[in-house]
A and B are shown apart, each in its own frame.
Chain A
């Protein structure tokens, strides 16, 4: 047993060292770990488009690989190790649940660079990145507030985590601003991708009078439900979902990872890569507003585009006071803007939203 332990340890050390050397010359290898299938039409689909952008930008100077449908947990750790052993230089791990696995594998392969999406743990060779989706939500909220006739907006929420709560707050604030009578109904489905559950949630919301459906889940199922009605509209989420553009989809929030992936790959090629935390929005092009269809009246389109432009230029921040919390206490005084720390950990509703965040 003793001898075996030593041998295993030695073999592992040798192997790791060998792999690190193998990756240091020739083409730059970039790996992607996906939580869903690349054909999900939403989250993973957009990350994969980012991968294709890297291939397009660097041609045969890069080699990209990916593994899709990787469950969070030990499988993710194994898949990342597999990539690192194969000599991949830069690995993008594209789901929050990969956080601890990324950190663990990064410890074993100090020469390999890691980029973890939407997490908060960093190391010398682990950077994090995410997008300010809530900026897109502001534009979406404005359109929703203008478009609703029943004054009821349905919201399909995934998990009660800061990112989702930020989205609800941001869209509510901007809907309320243009339509003081607006009311939000939120359904929590506890999944990122489950067409059946998302469709059920959409049906429930429509039965309760919602004629605009916003979603923070990745499938097109809510749009399919809305397509069966005459009066309900929705938005593409994570991806453009343009296949519903002739129906209920009036616009969308698109995650645009390509430029970031290209920039980080370039940094690895040039040897200038450093671990950092990137949180970009509409201004940097990481969040895009999909084309608005004719179902949105021209004046509302103009208003929405003006808001988008003001956010892009940095002139306006979606969380600008006066904003009270749900319990009526003051969160931001007039003119005050939220700091990133509070936004990153947001766990409260703003004033006017009904119901509780599930605990």
Chain B
């Protein structure tokens, strides 16, 4: 008979080793799936996990990891603060879009400009756009006690339609022969979020993500506000008695996550994506929710989780290309990874007892 027994405190050993165990389990289960599809399992797993980092073309893929992981980490850091306090911003995708629209729109409005202040102003506008979009669920929650999960989620669809309208109307490239999509920022140097080191993949969005990780770490470890966030998450009533204002915390958490999502959108649209199009958003705002939980809502964990997610995307493409694996198999593989990562978490919080227990 196997029983689970709750540990008094999460095991530090298991917390550190479960991610590795999960990756191992994914490799075994994924390898079986690939074998059943008639593809060589070891080669597939090597292609996904090893080749992008150390393979023949690693010099190209390593920077791409940063490009892919940057926005995921930036958004996930913001979300994790709220998630710790039980404030659920599910609409980061919408804030990401609005950040791109407001910041990018500012740049396009003054086209062509060569002011060196333009890009910093666009960054501020993008942050503000994401912040204000997140304030809608925040204020509705504090004033009318609406559910921020629903409001923030539904605002994603509003934002998507707003973006489609912008890409086809107001922000459409006047030189684009009637096709949808804005001007490409790569042809607009003052507004372009260029790679800081050529070929290294590091653009301002990646820098911002690293800064966000550091700040979140300090906030949670050293700052009163971080303590209040953690306390509210564990026991909202105790937090109120401890002098925490729930409304201020809601505004803070949604505000920060909206701001960071808006920044991510702005850096993406002016950099790697280059253009506001009818489907500029690729689900980073939703994937970041997974990244946040994968990283156990811990800033350093999120950093690693973002890089791991990016690796499975890039390696997954390589596996499609080299081995002809269908993209559905890659998605199933990613799903397995998440499943095992969250599943083995039980080992951190519970002890497995084999045999008869003393207490039923």
Contacts and interface: CB of A to CB of B under 8 A. Distances in A.
A and B: partners? yes
Interface of A: 1, 4-5, 8-9, 11-12, 15, 31, 37-38, 65-75, 77-79, 81-83, 85-86, 96-97, 100, 104, 120, 159-162, 190, 344-347, 358-359
Contacts, number: 113
Contact of A190 (B278, B313, B317, B328): B278
Contact of A159 (B67, B198, B278, B282): B278
Given A159-B180, A190-B278, A65 B321 contact: yes
Contacts of B272: 73-74, 77
B180 A67 contact: no
A137 B159 CA distance: 33
Q: How large is the interface on B (under 10, 10 to 19, 20 to 34, 35 or more residues)?
A: 35 or more
Given A65-B321, A68-B320, A358-B165, A96 B57 contact: no
Nearest to B314: A78
B277 A68 contact: no
Contact of B64 (A8, A38, A78): A78
Contacts of B274: 73, 100
Contact of A86 (B68, B321, B328): B321
A100 B186 CA distance: 10
B8 interface: no
A7 to B, nearest CB: 9
Contacts of B184: 100
Contact of B275 (A15, A100, A358): A100
B179 A120 contact: yes
Lowest 5 CB-CB distances: which A-B pairs, in order?
A: A74-B272, A73-B273, A69-B327, A11-B59, A71-B282
B165 A12 contact: no
Given A72-B277, A100-B274, A162-B179, A67 B317 contact: yes
Contact of A73 (B60, B280, B314): B280
A57 B9 CA distance: 65
Contacts of B57: 15, 82, 85
B346 interface: no
A8 B178 contact: no
Given A68-B326, A73-B280, A12 B321 contact: no
B242 interface: no
Contacts of A37: 326-328
B199 A9 contact: yes
Interface in B193-225: 197-200
B106 interface: no
B199 A81 contact: no
B279 interface: yes
A78 B165 CA distance: 28
A272 B164 CA distance: 41
A281 B179 CA distance: 21
B59 A8 contact: yes
B178 A346 contact: yes
Interface in B326-360: 326-328
Given A75-B317, A77-B272, A96-B179, 8 more contacts: A5-B198, A11-B59, A68-B326, A74-B67, A79-B321, A159-B180, A346-B178, A359-B168
Nearest to B163: A190
21 contacts: A12-B59, A15-B60, A37-B326, A37-B327, A67-B320, A67-B321, A68-B326, A73-B277, A73-B280, A74-B68, A78-B67, A82-B317, A82-B318, A96-B179, A97-B181, A104-B186, A160-B180, A161-B179, A345-B177, A345-B178, A359-B169
